[in-house]
Chain A
Amino acid sequence: MSVVELARPIEKARATPKGPRRRVTAWHRWLSPLALLVVWQIASATGLLPERLLAAPADIASTAVELTQAGTLPTAIGVSLQRVLIGFLVGGTAGIVLALVAGLSRAGENAVDPIMQALRALPFFGLIPLFILWFGIGEEPKILLVALAVSFPLYLNTFSGIRGVDGKLAEVATTLKLSRGQLIRHIVLPGALPQTLVGLRQALGVAWLALIVAEQVNATTGLGYMINDAREFLRTDVIVVGLLVYSALGLATDAIVRLLERRALAWRRGFLA
C-alpha cells in the first residue's frame, strides 16, 4: 500500500501538464473490454461458443435479474457474506491479539511467534479434510477456514508493524514520561497501524478466497453452493453470475478498507498531498 500511495504524487506531477490527454486515455480504456463483450456476444449468437461452455453476456445479465427477483441470489449472498464476516471477525481478532502479545514483550514473542511461524507454513486449504472430520459439514468448518486464513496476514503485519515503530519516538516517549500504557496507546499502536491496514487488505483477499474454496468443497447454501448446483445442470450463466458477485463483493470490501485507510492515515496523506 505504501508503494501505491508513494507513487501517487509522482504520477500527479507527470499528469498535470497532460491533463486532457489523460481523460482521453481513461475513456480509451473502456474500448477493449467493450469490444471483447461484443465479440463474445456474437460468438455466442452464431453458435461458435456453445452455451454449455460459456453463456452469452445478454443471457448472463437476464439470469442475474431473474435470480435476484426469485430471491435466490440475495439469499446466497447473505449466507456467504455472513460466513466471511464472522470468520473475518474471529480470525482478525485472534491475529491482532496474538500480534499484540508477541509484539509488546519478548516473552510474548517467544511464546507466540514460533507457533505462528510453524502454522503459517501449513497449506491451510489442505486442512479442509481435517476440518470436515472435526466439525462436520455445517457452518463451522467454513467460518473457521476463513478465520484461519485471515489471522495470519493480520498477525504477521501487525507484529512487524509494532516492531518497526521508530525507536527514536520511543525515546521521546521516555523523555515525555509516558507510562507503558501511554507508550502503547500513543506511539506503538498508531505506529503499527499502517502495516496493520496492509494486513487487513491482504486478509480480506484471502478471506474471500478461503470462502470460495470452502463453499466449493461442501455446502448446501451460499454462493458456492449456487455455483456448484449450476454446474450439475450445465448452467454456465448462473456460474458466471456467481463469479461476478464474488468479485464485486471482494472489490466492495477492499473499497471499505481503502476508505478506512484514508481516514486513519490522514497524517500521512497530508504529507504526500
Chain B
Amino acid sequence: MATRLSGVARAFGDRVVLDSLDLVLGDGEFTALLGRSGSGKSTLLRALAGLDHEVTGTIDVTGSVAVAFQEPRLVPWKRLLANITLGLDAPVTKAKEALAEVGLAERADAWPLTLSGGEAQRASLARALVREPELLLLDEPFSALDALTRITVHQLVLELWARHRPAVLLVTHDVDEALLLADRVLVLDEGRIAHDVSITAGRPRHREDPELVALRTTLLAALGVSPEGRS
C-alpha cells in the first residue's frame, strides 16, 4: 500500500515551494519532517491531506487520513467532546477516553475558545488520534506544550502508534523530538527531500545514545546550524 508522492510540485505565484518532490511513506512507519520555517512542510502536509487542489504530480494515499493542523482549528461553537466526535461513528466513550488521554477529561463540556493554547492543541491531537487512521499527519502538534506535558504527549503518541500502527508524518522544528520519536527523519529544503535518514535505535531512547548524537550533528548541519555554534 504505502503512501507515494512523485513529482509533486506547488508554487504560490513565482514562489516555488515544492519542486518535483518524491517520497514514499511505508505503512506503519513513523517519519519526522524537519525544515526551516517557510520551507513548505505544511504545504506538503496539506497536499497529503487532499486539501490542496492546485498541487501537481501524483499523490497516492490509500486508506484513511487524519490531520492535526498547525493551529488547533477546533470548531468554536461545539463543546470539546462534540469536537472530538464530529464526523465520527465510534461511541462517545472512545472520544471521552481520547480526551482523558490528553489530560482534558474534565474539560469535555468546555467551549473551545475558553481553552489555553496548549489545551486546544492537545484537543486537536485527540481529535486526530481518536480516528485511528492509516495515515496520521501531525503539523507541529507539540509546539504550544510545556516541556513536561510534551513528554507525556510524546508517550501518548508513541503508544497509539504502537497500538494501531498508522503511518505517521510528524512535522517538527525540534531535532531532538524527531530523534526521540521517529524511525526516519526527513529534511525538506528547496522544495525537495534534501536528507533522509533512518534511525535504528530501539525505544525508549535516550538523548545520549551515540547513534542519536551523531545524527543530531548531521541533521543540524543539514538545517544550516552547527551545534558548536549554538552552545
Contacts and interface: CB of A to CB of B under 8 A. Distances in A.
B71 A174 contact: no
A270 B87 contact: no
Contacts of B161: none
A173 B113 contact: no
Contacts of A173: 87
A131 B7 CA distance: 65
A174 B76 contact: no
Interface in B56-78: 64-67, 69, 71, 73, 75-78
Contacts, number: 56
Interface residues of A, number: 21
Interface in B32-68: 49-51, 64-67
A169 B114 CA distance: 18
A14 interface: no
A186 B111 contact: no
B66 A271 contact: no
A267 B65 contact: no
A191 interface: yes
Interface in A176-190: 176-178, 182, 186-187, 190
Given A171-B51, A175-B51, A266 B73 contact: no
Given A171-B51, A175-B49, A175-B51, A267 B87 contact: no
Chain B interface mostly: loop
Interface residues of B, number: 25
B86 A174 contact: no
Interface in A136-164: none
A87 to B, nearest CB: 30
A244 interface: no
A246 to B, nearest CB: 35
Interface of A: 168-169, 171-178, 182, 186-187, 190-191, 193, 266-268, 270-271
27 contacts: A168-B71, A171-B51, A171-B73, A172-B75, A175-B49, A175-B65, A176-B88, A176-B127, A176-B131, A177-B64, A178-B86, A178-B87, A182-B87, A186-B75, A186-B78, A186-B86, A190-B77, A193-B77, A267-B77, A267-B78, A267-B111, A267-B112, A268-B113, A270-B110, A270-B114, A271-B111, A271-B114
